[in-house]
Structure 1
């Protein structure tokens, strides 16, 4: 393992990253930390693709973290993920085991690799009122006059994002002591790469399989438990479109068609984000996800041990 103390396995939906992560954790005496923004919720199993049976291998249950840690209906954000990751990572390392971070939420993964410290900055309503009627040019000038550790990182492409950038920089200048760094990790990052055609085929097959396994009933149960339509729409993809179908906003065929298209688009956005991570300086070692699982594992272990 050398100096590496975190192994990351990322990939788009339906790429097979969980199976590979479980096999790796089994081989290296590791535990898995999930980097999935929806698998944190209880009772959202089929739609989020938890596939918890995959964590059982040769009679051994691979320990996993950050799955089923929030009630369905709650909101979960990147700052909470960073805190939960730190606790899980510290616990795994204290046991002398290997931490394997696995998921498809690129922002979450990047946030712990680059130690983003800005997501916890609270909203400043007074400042927002003060800035509300300023032009983009005026906001740009204000932002340029602020110097903070965030200034050069901010996305200032829209008025809304400019206001948030000013809000963050203003807060950091007044409260720099409020932030502590996440553990410094020396990560080995692997990405699962499959062709667009195979990815689309897997997504389409998996969608029909999940519906046959009770995904629509899962959404019905969430509604019956008091999870609101608005929250299900917020969770997106399966929960959004099935909720709209159950609310008679879409017929079955339209729901299925729109959901399938949305999942394909989501997978494409995931890959775009991973490529952005590379452009921003993170090295991702890509593995051919179309190879047999044993071959993927062999390549991964060989790369780690080099």
Structure 2
């Protein structure tokens, strides 16, 4: 089996374009590592950019995009299960899997072999937390994480009250069942590539992309989801674009406040992504950082050279 390639980086760093071009040259297939691109009809807000998966007129096979309906609560346990199925399918066909995305929790979970179990709802706990603010919930989560010695959550995926409560619920469950948190699945061997984009350029691209998404129908996309009967609370749960655009559509925010708040939230999100990736390095993952300023061709050649060298060392070169 060939080693997997993982391409990670903050939002707007060009991960998908690089992964698709690399996959075209290697005959590889892409597995998405994005916590929101799993949802159907949530295209613009999640930045699926499906046109990027067409290289030279050929569609690059991709997995774990458009697999569940909006309104459902897809989670890490389900992602790990779906990832393993996709990974094994690609491996059986002797293809190279390329894991690509910016959800650090999902990436680290599958690379590190977390063996998760489904965590049931705790209604009593949820009720006791329902009156707390997002900052209070984050403090509780941090305290639980410290008690558990857990890397399973950071603030990247707890930007709403409902997400924070669910994260606390999961950490509390593992605290009460320590025998489960110690279980491990098999680690996935992977060459990890990080796209390094400087702060100013990252901020510029985020703002530019947000404007493009709004011009290209992001508000209509969210309105269509609401019109088909999806509860606004469920869309707000997904955070970022879906949170702020929904709040605009239901009259909680003006357009100007929505844009300004969303822009700030995405900048903060990208910063937290980088914090997670740097944390992965401290936790023992080797990430090969390449500059976002390189041409696409040079990036592909650089990744291929790094991958070849690591495969030679591990004895897994094709």
Task: Tell me which interval the TM-score lies in, with the shorter structure as reference length.
Answer: 0.7 to 0.9
- Structure 2 Cα separation of the partners of residues 218 and 156 of structure 1: 29
- TM-superposed CA distance for 1:120, in Å, is 2.6
Match of 1:11 in 2: 9
Summarize the Cα distance change of 1:65–1:283 in structure 2 as closer, same or farther, 3 Å threshold.
Answer: same
Deviation per residue, 1:272-305 (Å, 9 max, x gap): 1100111111111101011111111111111111
Match of 2:69 in 1: 71
Conserved? CA contact 1:154–1:165, under 8 Å: no
Greater Rg by CA: 1
Alignment of 1:168 with 2:174, yes or no, is yes
Alignment of 1:230 with 2:233, yes or no, is yes
Alignment of 1:147-162 (within 5 A): 152-153=149-150
Alignment of 1:1-306 (within 5 A): 5-118=3-116, 120-122=118-120, 152-153=149-150, 167-173=173-179, 181=185, 183-306=186-309
- TM-superposed CA distance for 1:165, in Å, is 5.0
- Structure 1 unmatched ranges of 5 or more: 130-142, 144-149
Summarize the Cα distance change of 1:231–1:128 in structure 2 as closer, same or farther, 3 Å threshold.
Answer: closer
Conserved? CA contact 1:4–1:188, under 8 Å: no
Summarize the Cα distance change of 1:209–1:113 in structure 2 as closer, same or farther, 3 Å threshold.
Answer: same
- Structure 2 unmatched ranges of 5 or more: 128-143, 155-164, 310-318
- TM-superposed CA distance for 1:184, in Å, is 3.7
Match of 1:134 in 2: none
Tell me the matched-pair count: 280
- Structure 2 Cα separation of the partners of residues 229 and 127 of structure 1: 23
- Structure 1 Cα separation of the partners of residues 249 and 63 of structure 2: 32
- Structure 1 Cα separation of the partners of residues 26 and 62 of structure 2: 14
Residue 282 of structure 1 aligns to a residue whose secondary structure is coil
- Structure 1 Cα separation of the partners of residues 153 and 53 of structure 2: 42
